Chains A and B, each alone.
Chain A
Amino acid sequence: MRLPPFQLHRPETLQEAVSLLAQHGEEARPIAGGTAMVPMMRFGFLRPEHVVSLKGIPGLDEISESDDGLRIGALTPLYRVAGSAVVRAQWPLLARAVGSVATPAIRNSGTLGGNLSYAEAASDPAPALLALEASVLLTGPEGDRTVPITGFFQGFYEADIRPGEVLVEVSIPRIPAGARWSYLRFAARSREDKPLVNVAVVATSEGVRIGLGGVSPTAIRARRAEAVLQGPGLTPQAIDEAADAAAEECDPLSDLMGTAEYRQDMVRVWLRRALTGLQ
């Protein structure tokens, strides 16, 4: 089945991409790898007249490490993030989460920036980046803007991206030495499914940070569960209480993969497993 027709623009600079998007407003959409945009267009959820490809713009697909942490260009394909020696050694939680997206051929095309801009609640990278306290850099007609990832996801498939803006880079701070982590995803039916529930945890001497996916309109930080663990630490009783608190603070939907009630139960189970199995 052919896609509905559109005019494809292939800008060579970010400025050109931003002005095309600003010029065509609601009629225009950016595209990166295409793994989300193409199905959205094919099945009629989006019908843009203008599609602006970000893929040919140089310099947007680099991974670089500095004293502050890690920076990943938004156009970096997921397979390169998951396979990067630096990411695997220093941010193994991120490598694990990104390497869990869909299936290998999707990770060859799909990009990190595309995954986040799509704002899918059951994203693999999103809970990991929430627990890692990442931030995203956007550029648009009014210049650059940095948004903490904790404020980036705003609603069901909605991210804080203003008209004409594109996501340019993801920044991830260093993880303190001695920190422990876990990433678990539960797909009820089959490996290629989006997770029904996924859990990312970073535990440092200052506290525990928990990202949850698939169980609210967006990926979320489980702040109440984190607060429960703040005093007692990871004792068996505190872990049980944190799992209950997380199940309470999420706001799941019912769909083909599972009911809201089942998802709440699975948050309890998988957060407990994540907290008892930190690496």
Chain B
Amino acid sequence: MNQEISLVVNGTSHTVRVGDHWTLLDLLHDALDLKGTKDGCGEGVCGACTVLVNGRAVRACLTLAAYVQGAEVVTIEGLARDDELDPVQRTFLELGAVQCGYCTPGMIMMSKALLDENPNPTRDEVREALAGNLCRCSGYTKIIDAVMAVRGAD
């Protein structure tokens, strides 16, 4: 069975036809050709597919496509404005918080969700917020440094 889903992704309205069994991750990859959101474990543990739905961080791999009917979705592709990186992207880059890069989109979206809700988190709050995002290069220290540095950035 197919269904028609209308949603806003990174500020642009789309109407797409997807299978009943598609997830939001399938929709982003295969209906909208947005490949920045990564496919990791497929069971919600690794955090690589984290995106924002109506401002809250969710796992795109666990979210049925039907659940984003009418929703506003923000992915890693939606953060930069023209040529200007989002402050979270910029501090990740400046502080070397990227190694292989596979976890980076999820890390940045989860950090974004945290900072939108709590602009001045403590180091422990950052660690707690990112507990569900795995970096198999184990570059956690610099990732946390980068999120903490956003507070001083603009």
Say yes or no for B20: interface residue by CB 8 A criterion: yes
Note all chain B residues with C-beta closer than 8 A to A31: 64
Which of B8-16, B54-62, B79-87, B95-103 lies at the binding interface? B54-62
Note all chain A residues with C-beta closer than 8 A to B56: 79, 108
Instruction: Encode contact with A along B44-83: 1 for CB under 8 Å, 0 otherwise.
Output: 1101001000001111011110110000000000000000
Find out whether the CB atom of A39 lies under 8 angstroms from the CB atom of B42. yes
Find out whether the CB atom of A103 lies under 8 angstroms from the CB atom of B131. yes
Say yes or no for A224: interface residue by CB 8 A criterion: no
Note all chain A residues with C-beta closer than 8 A to B3: 8
Note all chain B residues with C-beta closer than 8 A to A42: 42-43
Find out whether the CB atom of B61 lies under 8 angstroms from the CB atom of A5. no
With A31-B64, A43-B43, A105-B59 already in contact, the answer to whether A192 and B132 are too (CB < 8 A) is yes
Q: Of residues A3, A4, A53, which shows the largest number of chain B Cβ atoms within 10 Å of its Cβ?
A: A3
Instruction: Encode contact with B along A19-59: 1 for CB under 8 Å, 0 otherwise.
Output: 00000000000010111001100110000000101010000
Find out whether the CB atom of A105 lies under 8 angstroms from the CB atom of B42. no
Find out whether the CB atom of A7 lies under 8 angstroms from the CB atom of B47. no
Note all chain A residues with C-beta closer than 8 A to B19: 2, 5
A39 to B64, CA, bound (A): 12
With A2-B22, A8-B3, A35-B44 already in contact, the answer to whether A109 and B132 are too (CB < 8 A) is no
Find out whether the CB atom of A8 lies under 8 angstroms from the CB atom of B43. no
Say yes or no for B146: interface residue by CB 8 A criterion: no
Chain A: minimal CB distance from B24 (Å): 10
Find out whether the CB atom of B43 lies under 8 angstroms from the CB atom of A105. no
Contacting B61 at CB < 8 Å: which of A38, A108, A191?
A: A38
Number of A-B contacts (CB under 8 A): 93
| B19, closest chain A residue (CB) | A5
Say yes or no for B1: interface residue by CB 8 A criterion: yes
With A4-B21, A8-B64 already in contact, the answer to whether A106 and B44 are too (CB < 8 A) is yes
Find out whether the CB atom of B64 lies under 8 angstroms from the CB atom of A109. no
| A106, closest chain B residue (CB) | B44
Chain A: minimal CB distance from B112 (Å): 12
Note all chain A residues with C-beta closer than 8 A to B128: 104, 191
Say yes or no for A262: interface residue by CB 8 A criterion: no
Instruction: Encode contact with A along B105-139: 1 for CB under 8 Å, 0 otherwise.
Output: 00000100110000000000000110110100000
Note all chain B residues with C-beta closer than 8 A to A55: 67
Chain B: minimal CB distance from A270 (Å): 20
Contacting B63 at CB < 8 Å: which of A2, A5, A8, A34?
A: A34
Say yes or no for A1: interface residue by CB 8 A criterion: yes
Chain B: minimal CB distance from A118 (Å): 13
Name A residues whose Cβ lies closer than 8 Å to a Cβ of B.
1-8, 10, 31, 33-35, 38-39, 42-43, 51, 53, 55, 79, 102-106, 108-109, 190-192
* Sample (25) of A-B pairs whose CB atoms are under 8 Å apart: A2-B21, A2-B22, A3-B21, A5-B19, A5-B20, A34-B63, A34-B67, A35-B59, A38-B23, A38-B62, A39-B42, A39-B44, A43-B42, A43-B43, A53-B64, A102-B132, A103-B131, A104-B57, A104-B129, A105-B50, A105-B59, A105-B113, A190-B131, A192-B45, A192-B131
Q: Closest 5 A-B residue pairs measured CB to CB? A: A103-B132, A8-B20, A39-B43, A191-B131, A3-B21
Name B residues whose Cβ lies closer than 8 Å to a Cβ of A.
1, 3, 19-23, 26, 39, 42-45, 47, 50, 56-59, 61-64, 66-67, 110, 113-114, 128-129, 131-132, 134
